[in-house]
């Protein structure tokens, strides 16, 4: 079985928000992230990812509850480690949550979670999620100290931040791939499931598939962009085919 694909549908909501505000009272609010999620499932996605940001810039609370009811695979809730969002996650009860760093100034997540500095706060959240039956993934840079911290927290899954790899070229990209390969090896040795994502697309995905014991990739912007031409189901199917 090849590497599995989770599809992030945040930017379907971004397009919606360009025209409509949430709860605007319109019966014609489009596009609908839930419809996009169902199309991605038909295209072979093993899960749907959505990031509920504190500023609600795209995905809103109602979207998350609707996605939880609608998706047939699994819902992976990306979230910052804030009390408000943690409380919502414990009400929604997604299959997975992926804890990420979050800044209101960033366009998209710009780096991995610092599990060393934030160890105590993360420990509390991991326990709360685990007690509720929610599996936790930590979105981290491919740095040995972060892998060690994730292991000490008892995180069952990490998602390696592939942004530096995706934004580089030539020998710099090669060096970033080596960092990712080593991080995946360390995580596997620690008994942690390895996922990856950020900045991946149809042309740069190949080398990432060489990461040892890679289970799942979470990809959003590239698939949503491709869907403008071919539709979400086909765009997802094309990416699934590349993952083998």
Write out the catalytic residue numbers. 51, 78, 198
The helix, strand and coil proportions of the chain, stated in percent and rounded to the nearest 5, come to 45, 15, 40
Q: Under a CB-based contact definition with an 8 Å cutoff, are residues 89 and 51 in contact?
A: no
Tokens of 100: 């990420």
Cβ neighbours of residue 211 closer than 8 Å, sequence gap 6 or more: 160, 180, 181, 184, 194, 196
- How do 193-197 and 157-161 pair as beta strands? parallel
The pair phi, psi for residue 126, each rounded to 5°, is: -60, -40
Burial class of residue 135, CB neighbours in 10 A (0-12, 13-18, 19+): middle
Backbone angles phi, psi at 191, to 5 degrees: 80, 20
- Between 221-230 and 33-42, two packed helices, what is the crossing angle to 10 degrees? 80
Q: Is-contact 18 188, C-beta < 8 A?
A: no
- Cα–Cα distance for residue pair 237/186, rounded to 1 Å: 31
Phi, psi of 132 (to 5 degrees): -90, 0
Helix (H) or strand (E) segment spanning residue 233 = helix 232-242
């Amino acid at each position: 079985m090849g590497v599995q694909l989770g599809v992030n549908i945040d930017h379907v909501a971004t397009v919606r928000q360009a025209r409509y505000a949430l709860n605007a009272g319109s019966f014609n609010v489009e596009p609908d992230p839930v419809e996009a999620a169902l199309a991605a499932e038909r295209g072979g996605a093993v899960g749907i990812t959505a990031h509920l940001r504190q500023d609600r810039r795209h995905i809103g609370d109602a979207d998350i509850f609707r996605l939880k009811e609608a998706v047939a695979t699994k819902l992976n809730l990306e979230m910052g480690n804030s009390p408000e969002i943690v409380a919502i996650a414990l009400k929604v009860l997604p299959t997975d949550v992926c804890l990420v760093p979050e800044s209101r100034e960033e366009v998209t997540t710009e780096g991995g979670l610092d599990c060393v500095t934030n160890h105590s706060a993360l420990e509390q959240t991991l326990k709360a999620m685990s007690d509720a039956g929610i599996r936790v993934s930590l979105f981290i840079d491919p740095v040995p100290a972060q892998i060690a911290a994730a292991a000490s927290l008892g995180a069952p899954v990490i998602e390696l931040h592939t942004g530096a790899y995706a934004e580089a070229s030539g020998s710099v990209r090669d060096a970033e791939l080596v960092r990712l390969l080593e991080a995946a090896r360390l995580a596997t040795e620690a008994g942690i499931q390895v996922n990856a994502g950020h900045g991946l697309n149809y042309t740069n995905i190949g080398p990432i598939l060489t990461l040892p014991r890679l289970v799942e990739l979470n990809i959003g912007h590239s698939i949503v962009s491709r869907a403008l031409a071919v539709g979400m189901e086909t765009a997802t199917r094309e990416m699934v085919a590349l993952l083998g």
